Each structure stands twice: as C-alpha cells, then as structure tokens.
Amino acid sequence: MIFQRPDPPALSGAELRALETFLDEQAERGSAMPLSVAHGFLTAVISGPELVMPSEWMPVIWGDPEFEDEQQAQHMIGLIMRLYNDVAQSLSQTGMFRPIFEEWTRDDGEDLIIADNWCRARRAYRSAPTVRRARLRGRAPRARQPCRFR
C-alpha cells in the first residue's frame, strides 16, 4: 500500500490577506510584487516548459524581504510555497484555475476587477523564454544568504 501525504489545504482568505499585506509592505520598499502580479508570475513559472526552482523565482517576487523575525520568515515562505502549490494543483485540474485579480471600489461604489497587472506579469515571463532563466538567475541571491530582520 502506498501512502500519499495529503496536500496542504488551499490558502484561506485570512492567509491570502496576510501574504498580500506582507507583499504590499515589501512593495513600499520597492522590492516586491503585489499579490495579483505574483500570482500571474507564478502561473507563468508553473506553466512554462522548464522547471524553475523556488530559489530562482522567490527573489523575483519579493526581492530582499525584511522579516520581523524568523517566525514571520518561515510563515511567509510557507504561504508563498502554498500559493505556488495551489496554482500548480489548480492548473492540473480542468476548470479549477482561478486567477487572483486586483479589486477596487470606485468612489461611486462600483466594484472593479483589474486583470491587467496579472496578465502583464504572465505575459512578461512567457514572452522571453530564452532570456527568462538568465534574468531569474541574475536576480537570485547567493545560496545561504541570511534573511534580514527588522
């Protein structure tokens, strides 16, 4: 009998908000993608023809993040890896994929869904397959580089 470990559950709304808040804080420093852009980027990474390791794509998503402590670092790395796994799993199941788009409410109360940033992130990655890996390698930090804490 083969035992397969169950996949961790999809990110909850609270976990997505926590990841979004962290990415937004890092983006204010100029080093991270917003959640919708990161989701589009991960979709391209996963659906591409080559395996791209987390050590290559993670720094592209959040640059050189500043974590409050080791616990936050582990939690955020866990959330981004689960997001990656959620995207991979949903892409493999027909009809299950749901992109994460930005949502805005206008002054008049009308809700808007903005897909442009998600699409641009995916297109930018997919449009340059031969350059893509070199860019990722160029932005990835050296192995065993310590995390910075505030």
Number of structural domains in the chain: 1
For residue 121, is it within any domain? yes
SS3 1: coil
CA distance 134 to 61: 16
For residue 5, tell me if it sits in a domain.
Answer: no
Cα angle 54-23-18, degrees, rounded to a multiple of 5: 100
**pLDDT tens, residue by residue, 28-84:** 888 788 899 899 999 988 988 788 889 888 988 888 899 999 999 999 999 999 999
* % of the chain at pLDDT higher than 90: 29
- pLDDT value at residue 29: 85
d(CA 43, CA 49): 12
- The model's pTM is 0.74
* Residue 51 domain-assigned (yes or no): yes
Whether 130 maps to a domain, the answer reads yes
Identify whether the C-beta of residue 19 lies closer than 8 Å to the C-beta of residue 83: yes
Phi, psi angle pair for 149, to nearest 5°: -115, 145
- The reply to whether 139 falls in a domain is yes
Question: Is residue 32 domain-resident?
Answer: yes
Quick check: is 24 in a domain? yes
| Residue 17 belongs to domain spanning | 13-92+99-149
Q: Tell me, yes or no, whether 108 lies in a domain.
A: yes
pLDDT band at residue 4 under the 50/70/90 scheme: very low
Whether residue 126 has pLDDT greater than 70: no
**68 vs 72, 75, 93, 138, CA distance in Å?**
6, 11, 37, 26
List helix spans (H) across 93-128.
Answer: 116-126
Q: Does pLDDT of 132 surpass 60?
A: no
Least confident span in 3-12, 39-48, 82-91: 3-12
Q: Which helix (H) or strand (E) holds 139?
A: helix 129-139
| 8-state DSSP, 128 | -
